[in-house]
């Protein structure tokens, strides 16, 4: 086991024709990705690649832990680092593809293992599915984004670490189903307003209420999606084919799991989520999908239309997969870990839970060490050392 490594920041730059800008930085028709190579002294022909759709995780505990264990690691930011209002998941897959191509062709690594942390899990699955079995030529909004023509290089293995099933699936499970009017979120159905003391349903919730709650969350996602499609069609009918429209989605951290620990039970803290007290986060500025564009909603948040569905993508993989869940995770709860593992369409897969671990292992060096050791053992067993 090694403890030292060198951190090398670098840029990945490539041309890409776009009809309009959806990121602030950089010139038109050009993309620059910020990346970090964590390089131990020990030589290796394998590199572990992390990417999250928006997260800048170069200093996440697991990233550094794998480098300290002697593994070469790249953390690469997507073009949407920190801002997901206009994020197109198909373009993030293209970004990850450029990172992997650079790692193979310029840096000289022969093997690549994708490490999908949290929201990076479904991204890794989406990438690998399109690299092994390319199908997508357009975004859900109908805009050209030809992943088939890109010739994405498949990874040799995938690690899913505290991962959720998809951005769209996670958002839908957190949408406040009591909202009746998207323009006026104060108009709510009191029977579904679980943060109100007057809500007739109180924890622990019975199965009938949970089923009604979940159905209302999906219905709300579909109402927003239909509105987005209508708005985009109207713009195009007026000849405004590249026009966009920005909007806000209110109240997006509402889940029976946060108030009732018997729902999707694990060791998480009651009345808490990974962003804080859920009732406050529900209206806060950093909850999922607060700020949106039409195309961004369809690509990353639409329950029915997003292509970045970790469950359906997992079924298309042929490479070995390691799935690690955290026993006290207050973001990606056990059902996500279990559903991802079950969705992998082959038997070359392993599942492990780190008991008592929170989402990021913050303040838990012993839990981080357990997860890193499990990853290290799996990597070496598959000749990814």
Residue 126 DSSP label = H
Average pLDDT over residues 359-378: 96
Grade residue 21 by pLDDT with cuts at 50, 70 and 90: confident
Q: How many CB atoms lie within 10 A of CB 191?
A: 17
Question: Reduced to 3 states, what is the DSSP secondary structure of residue 209?
Answer: helix
CA distance 197 to 234: 41
**Token digits for 268?**
């998480």
- Contact criterion met (CB below 8 Å) for 90 and 148: no
Residue 121: name the closest of 86, 87, 165, 83 by CA: 165
The pLDDT score that the predictor gives to residue 154 is 98
pLDDT for residue 192 is more than 50: yes
Q: Where are the beta strands (DSSP E) in the chain?
A: 5-15, 30-40, 46-50, 72-76, 111-117, 157-161, 246-248, 291-293, 321-326, 349-354
Mean pLDDT of 268-272: 95
- Judged against a pLDDT cut of 60, whether residue 2 lies above it is answered with no
- Rounded CA-CA distance 148/66 in Å is 32
Q: What is the pLDDT of residue 20?
A: 83
- Burial (CB count within 10 angstroms: exposed 0-12, middle 13-18, buried 19+), residue 83: middle
For residue 112, what are the β-bridge partners? 47
pLDDT surpasses 60 at 1: no
**Residue 203 DSSP label:** S
Asked if 225 and 183 count as a contact pair (C-beta separation under 8 A), the reply is: no
Q: What is the pLDDT of residue 19?
A: 84
Please return the burial class of 108, using the count of CB atoms within 10 Å of its CB with bins 0-12, 13-18 and 19+: exposed
Q: Give residue 214's pLDDT.
A: 98
8 A C-beta contact, residue 163 and residue 310: yes
Distances (CA, A) of 276 to 70, 83, 132, 271, 326: 34, 20, 38, 9, 18
Amino acid 24: pLDDT: 84
Mean predicted lDDT score pLDDT of the chain: 96
pLDDT of residue 170: 98
Average of per-residue pLDDT across 277-295: 96
Residue 104, token pair as written in the block: 């193979």
Q: How far apart are CA 121 and CA 376, in angstroms?
A: 18
Rounded average pLDDT over 52-79: 95
Average pLDDT estimate for 297-301: 98
Are residues 244 and 20 in contact, defined by beta-carbon separation less than 8 angstroms?
A: yes
Of 150, 151, 72, 77, the C-alpha closest to 110 is 72
DSSP code of 152? P
Q: What percent of the chain has pLDDT over 70?
A: 99
Domain 5-166+308-381 bears CATH identifier 1.20.1250.20: no
Ranges of each domain in the chain:
5-166+308-381, 170-301
Residue 25 binned pLDDT confidence (cut-offs 50, 70, 90): confident
Residue with tokens 């590249």: 242
Question: Does the pLDDT value for residue 130 go beyond 80?
Answer: yes
The radius of gyration of the chain's CA atoms, rounded to the nearest angstrom, is 21
Q: What is the pLDDT of residues 30-51, one digit of tens each?
A: 999 999 999 999 999 999 999 9
- pLDDT tens for 331-358 read 999 999 999 999 999 999 999 999 999 9
């Amino acid at each position: 086991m090694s403890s030292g490594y060198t951190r090398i920041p670098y840029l990945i730059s490539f041309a890409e024709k776009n009809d309009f800008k959806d990121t602030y930085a950089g010139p038109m028709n050009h993309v620059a990705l910020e990346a970090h190579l964590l390089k131990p002294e020990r030589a290796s022909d394998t590199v572990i690649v992390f990417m999250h759709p928006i997260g800048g995780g170069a200093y996440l505990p697991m990233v550094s832990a794998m480098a300290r264990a002697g593994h070469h690691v790249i953390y690469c930011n997507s073009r949407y680092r920190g801002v997901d209002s206009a994020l197109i998941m198909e373009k993030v897959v293209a970004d990850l593809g450029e990172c992997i191509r650079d790692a193979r062709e310029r840096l000289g690594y022969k093997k690549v293992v994708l490490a999908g942390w949290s929201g990076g899990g479904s991204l890794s699955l989406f990438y690998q599915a399109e690299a092994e079995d390319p199908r997508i030529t357009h975004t859900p909004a109908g805009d050209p984004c030809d992943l088939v023509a890109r010739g994405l290089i498949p990874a040799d293995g995938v690690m899913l670490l505290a991962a959720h099933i998809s951005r769209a699936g996670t958002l839908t499970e957190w949408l406040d189903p009591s909202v009746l009017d998207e323009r006026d979120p104060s108009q709510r159905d009191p029977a579904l307003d679980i943060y109100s003391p007057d809500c007739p349903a109180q924890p622990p919730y019975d199965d009938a209420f949970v089923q009604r709650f979940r159905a209302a969350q999906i219905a709300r996602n579909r109402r927003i999606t239909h509105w987005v499609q209508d708005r985009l069609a109207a713009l195009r009918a007026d000849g405004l084919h590249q026009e966009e429209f920005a909007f806000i989605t209110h109240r997006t951290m509402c889940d029976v799991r946060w108030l009732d620990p018997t729902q999707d039970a694990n060791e998480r803290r009651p009345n808490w989520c990974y962003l804080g007290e859920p009732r406050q986060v529900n209206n806060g500025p950093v909850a999922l999908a607060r700020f949106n564009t039409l195309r961004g909603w369809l690509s990353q948040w639409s329950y029915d239309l997003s292509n970045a569905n970790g469950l359906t993508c997992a079924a298309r993989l042929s490479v070995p997969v390691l799935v690690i869940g955290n026993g006290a995770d207050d973001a990606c709860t056990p059902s996500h870990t279990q559903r991802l593992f079950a969705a992998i369409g082959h038997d070359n897969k392993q599942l492990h839970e780190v008991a008592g671990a929170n989402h990021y292992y913050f303040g838990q060096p012993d839990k981080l060490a357990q997860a890193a050791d499990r990853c290290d053992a799996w990597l070496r067993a598959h000749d990814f050392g």
